[in-house]
Amino acid sequence: MQAEARAQSALEFISTYAWGLLILTIVVSIILYYVNLPNSVAPSSCTLSSSTVLCKDIIAGTNPQGANSVFVTFTNTGQYAVTHPIAYLAIGDVNTSEFACYPAVLLPGMSATCQINLTGTYRSSQLLSGSIYIQVGNCGLLPNYPSTHICTGAQNQTIAGSFIAHYASTSLKPTPMLFVTTSQFSNYNPSATSVQAIDPYNNVVVNTLTLATSPSTNYPVSSYIIASPNSGYVYDIYSIIKTNPGTCTIATINTTDFNIANTLNIVSSASTDFGYYDLCGYSSGAISSNGSVIYFPIEFPNQTSDLLIINVIQHKVTGMIGLGALFFQTYGMAVSPTGANLYITGFYSSDDSAPFGVVNTGLNKVVYSTTFSSSGPDSISVTPDGSLIYYGMVNEPALTAGTLDVISATNYSIVKTIQFANYPYIYTSFSPDGKYAYIVESASNGNSNLLTLYTSNYVISNTLSLPVNSITGAVTADGKYIYIPQNNNPGTITVVNTISDQLVTTIDTNTGGQPQDVTLTPMFNTV
């Protein structure tokens, strides 16, 4: 009887605890299954508790510099623009640092990408989960924004959410993000033009694409480059190829395989639905803030200019904006961050002053125009918040000095004039937060400097000597570096650390050509 009792007790013990062991085994198996099989059971995802911002994608892995990173892409689904997005994660009890996202201004429907660097060690397919926080300046909370489209002082909003991401075993290496155009010369005339892709993490040329070769030195060819502002991992670069007389090609370059995806030819004195046009303009053109339209200047034999409106999706001219005689030989163009206005300059007016105009992109017409006393326009750029326009001008004809006028984007009055003795050529770019203006000044003999200007009080905090013939630079999304090309043959690009105000390295373009223009695609943060 005692043996039977013990046997009965053993059976009851097994039956009682077997279910518990079975459940524990199942739970452990599920946990391991979720951790090691990311997309089949628990795909990476992120959610945000806001109708203004929608999280689109999240991936985790090793960035090109070997650091652990999470890349987050989100879309502005609100009615108004948002500015200067910042993102960070909370994994367990540890918060990451805050990292800026790009682009700095998101119109409704546009997306931004954030590279958030992690600390710690992670294994392949390891499950990461926690909270995500995105901070944006909401332009819609400014009472005057709908009429002014200026988003200065927008109230910050922090949007919280959650995420799941599986650590990738392979490197998350975006496509090369620095692009430069170069021209080769024959008998002092540019005879061929190329676009080069440069890996900004390693500062080396990784690809070269020849865009055009001139059939004769009598037909010089040059090119400029525009990066689409849309976020993501693949970008189209719009390269403006110009030959004289008047044959222009707009090449859409796919940055994934670095091939020309589409070309749009604009031929001198050709007829379109919008009339006849002659010589392609002096400007590289400009792309709208949402990346959907290119504005491209053309010239007429009667010494007037117009802007072609080119739909980049349809690859065709869809309209024309009359500029008139004041903006004959349209020289410089800059789009406001919200895309509401396009600022333009003409090469010279009849009294040798520098024309300045404002095109309303909603109305597709010039709504303001004036001239400034300096006789030659050289560059034009807009602060990240859209409140000010920096207009660099050459004092003609001596070419011994330059002028930088800072213009209000509200009433177009000059709020500050800065003179540059002995340096007629002035090029301005900005830190992403708008606190600093990086000004490249270049003399007639090629001597060049980089000036760091506080935009709050217009005080120059640092002057750095640059290689000769330096031109306008491109600032990285996190503001840590600026890439400044030198218009020499053979050409180089100087990399400057904006934190230490020191030259970091020089990139040789290796083509025997002179750099003419440089741009950074939006998805580029550094560690």
Identify the pLDDT of residue 21. Answer: 57
What gap in Å lies between CA 522 and CA 501, rounded to an integer?
Answer: 23
Query: In 3D, which of 214, 202, 244 has the Cα closest to residue 64?
Result: 202
Q: Considering just the CA atoms, what is the radius of gyration of the chain in Å? A: 27
Q: What is the mean pLDDT of the chain?
A: 79
Look at the alpha carbons of 174, 178, 184, 190 in this order and tell me if their dihedral is positive or negative: positive
Identify the pLDDT of residue 181. Answer: 77
Find the mean pLDDT for residues 262-291: 67
Identify the pLDDT of residue 24. Answer: 56
Find the mean pLDDT for residues 443-472: 93
Q: Is the pLDDT of residue 47 over 50?
A: yes
State pLDDT tens for residues 175-234.
557 878 777 655 445 567 788 888 887 788 888 887 776 655 555 556 777 777 664 333
Find the mean pLDDT for residues 439-457: 93
Residue 456: pLDDT band with limits 50, 70, 90: very high
Residue 358: pLDDT band with limits 50, 70, 90: very high
Residues sharing a CB contact under 8 Å with residue 77, sequence separation 6 or more, in sequence order: 51, 52, 53, 54, 108, 109
- The token duo for 499 is 């934190």
Which has more pLDDT, 399 or 417? 417
Find the mean pLDDT for residues 50-59: 88
Find the mean pLDDT for residues 268-275: 54
Identify the pLDDT of residue 8. Answer: 57
Which has more pLDDT, 475 or 65? 475
- The token duo for 378 is 């050289």
Please answer whether residues 194 and 208 qualify as being in contact, where contact means their C-beta atoms are separated by less than 8 angstroms: yes
Highest mean pLDDT: which range of 269-278, 375-384, 449-458: 449-458
What gap in Å lies between CA 223 and CA 241, rounded to an integer?
Answer: 5
In terms of C-beta density within 10 A (0-12 exposed, 13-18 middle, 19 or more buried), how is residue 494 classed? buried
Neighbour tally for 252: CB within 10 Å? 18
Identify the pLDDT of residue 352. Answer: 66
pTM to 2 decimal places: 0.82
Find the mean pLDDT for residues 142-149: 84
Please answer whether residues 280 and 224 qualify as being in contact, where contact means their C-beta atoms are separated by less than 8 angstroms: no
b (16+ CB within 10 A) / e for 9-47: eeeeeeeeeeeeeeeeeeeeeeeeebbeebeeebebebe
For the ranges 78-87, 147-156, 221-230, 316-325, the lowest mean pLDDT is seen at 221-230
State pLDDT tens for residues 25-41.
555 454 444 444 444 44
- The token duo for 8 is 């009965």
Find the mean pLDDT for residues 404-432: 91
> What percentage of the chain has pLDDT greater than the value 70?
75
Residue 166: pLDDT band with limits 50, 70, 90: confident
Please answer whether residues 403 and 393 qualify as being in contact, where contact means their C-beta atoms are separated by less than 8 angstroms: yes
Q: Is the pLDDT of residue 278 over 70?
A: no
Query: In 3D, which of 116, 27, 10 has the Cα closest to residue 72?
Result: 116
